[in-house]
Structure 1
């Protein structure tokens, strides 16, 4: 199976068999997040997950979470950020738009506060690297060694459709767990070949930033930096999910298993980006009428339309204001 359909099928299976928040293609570096992209990130809900779900269905900007904007007292927006006014303005507007901040005007100034305290809402993070065909591993070993040495996620898993030999296992770090995910489209199962070893997420890690012939740029990443990036990854996953595609305008396409783009003509899950008029089976039509947010809401702990925690004010003195 091609990597994109394999990834979607694995996400659908994990969604049906776990209570995790799942997302695809999440930056897994610290100094340079895009230097390592995690194929599938599994975010385990923590005890305060419901409080997070009540806030907003969107990703909350990291700068809004780390700002001096609190719950019980409003602050003049410019004084709440240690950044440029232009960037702070964008963060405030976005936080208000998604319902994390509320604002009022007093004396010609704008004041903001959080509608509710940001909760410690997630537990373990598990990163899954997809490689359906181990005969074409690419840079697999280097990618997995990056994950293990940095220790940003709690566990690292290699998922494949290939038969896994001892030679395969010897070429990847022993801390990496291995799944074989295979079967018919409607009856795929995970066979655990090797259990992962938990990584030291609460200790410093080593990040490979750049690699050249005979030279590698390596940085030590502290525990606090890792904790901040873990929160950013979890937030990104919460807001993004894994259904990040549109269905193509083709009569052969239908939705299966909660939003997988299945092509009847090809008899398999397809990558919508590669669908078009140049396909011999293309049947021009409107895209299937699928609400992917509804599919996610009905199948996962994520809440598509939360009631929110915003409190209506009866006057300007409804909460204390910092002058």
Structure 2
């Protein structure tokens, strides 16, 4: 199976088994991870109540609290233009609220930022181990940095001892059936030391390996950024193919979804690579209706319109100046 529909099916299965959230294609320190699972922490519900969107990292790290308003230029550690962008976005998503005092803009948090992440798992999806590409290097990067609590390789291939020998010992290996959603745990993942310093592998060649030490504090900030991106992004594609053969559906084991399903091919498809005039079944039409937010809300604890967005917020147009 092609990697894109395989990845969608994997995400659907992980989501069905998880009490947290799943997201696709997230940047970390040195690479893009196929899928990430956020496991809920003790204050997960408090995070759900704030906003459905990602909260800007600089807003979280800013010198702004829930109890006292701060002048916006003093609150964000960034150049003025960047600080204004961060403040505007934080107000827009409901994490900051703003007010005017003597012609100056002040901001405060609408709620204290919660301790909401209980763990992060990374999934590398490789349906065909006969075409591994840079798989070994990607997994070595993940293990060396130890940004995620667990790293798991998911494949459709039969896994041999030779395959396992080329994969870092701490990486879990799952064999996945896209028709049934069944998972065979070939090897369980070993937890990584996420609270200790790590080493980012930047480049690797036969002659040398370029690395960068990453402190425990830097890893903690990066974990929070990854979690925030995952929270706001999710894993479902936002648009479906503009074709009469396309419909909103899901994999065979969970058809009730909003994924790009092709009646002509009889499976999930990658709209960017498989749909268009070169496809034998292509019939131009408006894309089918699909509500990705409703599907995410139906299958996860994420809320599209949380209580936090109902707070009184001052319009951004009033604060475009000082």
What corresponds to 1:283 in structure 2? 283
What corresponds to 1:303 in structure 2? 303
What corresponds to 2:96 in structure 1? 101
Query: What's the CA shift for 1:135?
Result: 0.5
Matched-pair contact (CA < 8 Å) for 2:240–2:259:
no
What corresponds to 1:217 in structure 2? 210
What corresponds to 1:231 in structure 2? 224
Matched, 1:262 2:261: yes
Name the SS for the 1:193 alignment partner: strand
What corresponds to 2:318 in structure 1? none
Matched-pair contact (CA < 8 Å) for 1:253–1:262:
yes
Query: What's the CA shift for 1:188?
Result: 2.1
What corresponds to 2:241 in structure 1? 248
Tell me how many residue pairs correspond in the alignment. 306
Name the SS for the 2:108 alignment partner: strand
Q: Which runs of 4+ in 1 moved over 4 A?
A: 309-313
Name the SS for the 1:266 alignment partner: coil
Query: What's the CA shift for 1:211?
Result: 2.8
Distance 1:310 1:169, change over 3 A: same
Matched-pair contact (CA < 8 Å) for 2:238–2:292:
no
What corresponds to 1:71 in structure 2? 66
Matched, 1:189 2:189: no
TM score, norm. by length of structure 1: 0.92
Name the SS for the 2:118 alignment partner: strand
What corresponds to 2:11 in structure 1? 11
For residues 171 and 270 of structure 1, what CA distance do their matches in structure 2 show?
30
For residues 312 and 146 of structure 2, what CA distance do their matches in structure 1 show?
43
Query: What's the CA shift for 1:212?
Result: 4.2
What corresponds to 2:48 in structure 1? 53
For residues 237 and 61 of structure 2, what CA distance do their matches in structure 1 show?
27
Matched-pair contact (CA < 8 Å) for 1:115–1:310:
no
Q: Deviations over 1:229-272 (max 9, x none)?
A: 00000000000000134101111111223122111111111001
Matched-pair contact (CA < 8 Å) for 1:176–1:196:
yes
Q: Deviations over 1:1-44 (max 9, x none)?
A: 10000000111111112112100011121xxxxx2111000110
For residues 215 and 110 of structure 1, what CA distance do their matches in structure 2 show?
51
For residues 58 and 200 of structure 1, what CA distance do their matches in structure 2 show?
29
The correspondence of residues 13-28 of structure 1 with structure 2, limited to 5 A, is: 13-28=13-28
Moved more, 251-260 or 166-175: 251-260
Matched-pair contact (CA < 8 Å) for 1:102–1:310:
no
What corresponds to 2:140 in structure 1? 145
Query: What's the CA shift for 1:102?
Result: 0.5
Matched, 1:87 2:82: yes
Query: What's the CA shift for 1:310?
Result: 5.9
Structure 2: gaps (5+ residues): 250-254, 314-322
